[in-house]
Amino acid sequence: MKHQFGSLEVITGSMFCGKTEELIRRLRRATIAKQKVQVFKPIIDKRYAMGKVTSHSGNEFQAIPVSNSAEIMELLEKDTTVVGIDEAQFFDDGIVELIDQLADGGLRVIVTGLDMNFRGEPFGCMPTIIAKAEHVDKLNAICMVCGESACRTQRLVNGKPAHYDDPIVIVGASEMYEARCRHCHEVPRD
C-alpha cells in the first residue's frame, strides 16, 4: 500500500536507549499493515547478525548491509513503501540527500542513529537528518553509574573513559560502551 505522502521519522539517543527496538516495532507494524518494507544497515556494524538489525535485547528484523548510501538506492525495490535505515551516523554524507529523495518520492523513511558521539558532540549527519524530519523521538537509557536518565554514550578503554583524541568510530557494544547521564559522562582531554 502506497503512502499518500512521504515522511521522515528519526529515532535517536544514546546507546542502550532502545533505538533499534523501536525501529523493529515500527517495521513489524508496517509489515502487519501489508506494506512493503526494506531495511538497510551499515556494513561496518558487525555486532550481531550481518543480514539483520538486532536490538541489544535480541529482537531482530531482516536487513541489507550496505557500504554506502548510494547502494541503498541501487538495492531499493520498486514496490517498497517503508524504508528503515539503522545506525545512520555511520553513513557517508550522501545519506541526507538519499533520505530526502526517498521521502519526497512518497516513501515512509524511518532512521535510527546516535545523536552524539562518545565525546558528547553531534555525530556525523545526524543533526541534519533530525532537522529535516517530520517526527523525532529522542530516547533515554539509564545511567550505568547513578541510575538517572542517560542521554550520552560513554566509551571505555580498559574500564576507564576514552580520551577525547581517541577515534570517533569504533563499533562495539556493552564491552566498550555504557549509557551515562550528563553528570557522570567523562571525556578526559589530557
In the chain, domain spans: 7-140
Query: What is the per-residue pLDDT for 174?
Result: 58
As given in the structure block, the three cell numbers for residue 114 are 546516535
For residue range 114-145, list pLDDT tens digits in order: 999 999 999 999 999 999 999 999 999 999 99
As given in the structure block, the three cell numbers for residue 103 are 521521502
For residue range 14-34, list pLDDT tens digits in order: 999 999 999 999 999 999 999
CATH of domain 7-140: 3.40.50.300
| Residue 57 near residue 19 (C-beta atoms within 8 A) | no
Confidence of residue 56 (pLDDT cuts 50, 70, 90): confident
Query: What is the per-residue pLDDT for 44?
Result: 83
Query: What is the per-residue pLDDT for 3?
Result: 64
Cα gap 43→182, rounded to integer Å = 31
What residues contact 49, with CB distance under 8 A and at least 6 apart? 60
- The catalytic residues are 87
134 vs 175, residue with greater confidence: 134
> Mean pLDDT over residues 170-189, rounded?
87
One DSSP character per residue, 84-153 reads: EE--GGGS-THHHHHHHHHHHTT-EEEEEEESB-TTSSB-TTHHHHHHH-SEEEEE-EE-TTT-SEE-EE
pTM, entire model:
0.92
- Say yes or no to pLDDT of 47 above 80: no
> Mean pLDDT over residues 58-74, rounded?
92
For residue range 82-110, list pLDDT tens digits in order: 999 999 999 999 999 999 999 999 999 99
Cα gap 103→35, rounded to integer Å = 15
End-to-end CA distance of the chain: 55
Collect contacts of 184-188 with beta carbons under 8 A, ≥24 apart.
Answer: 184/143, 184/144, 184/145, 184/146, 184/148, 184/150, 184/154, 185/120, 185/152, 185/154, 186/154, 186/161, 187/118, 187/119, 187/120, 187/161, 187/162, 187/163, 188/161, 188/163, 188/164
> Mean pLDDT over residues 176-180, rounded?
94
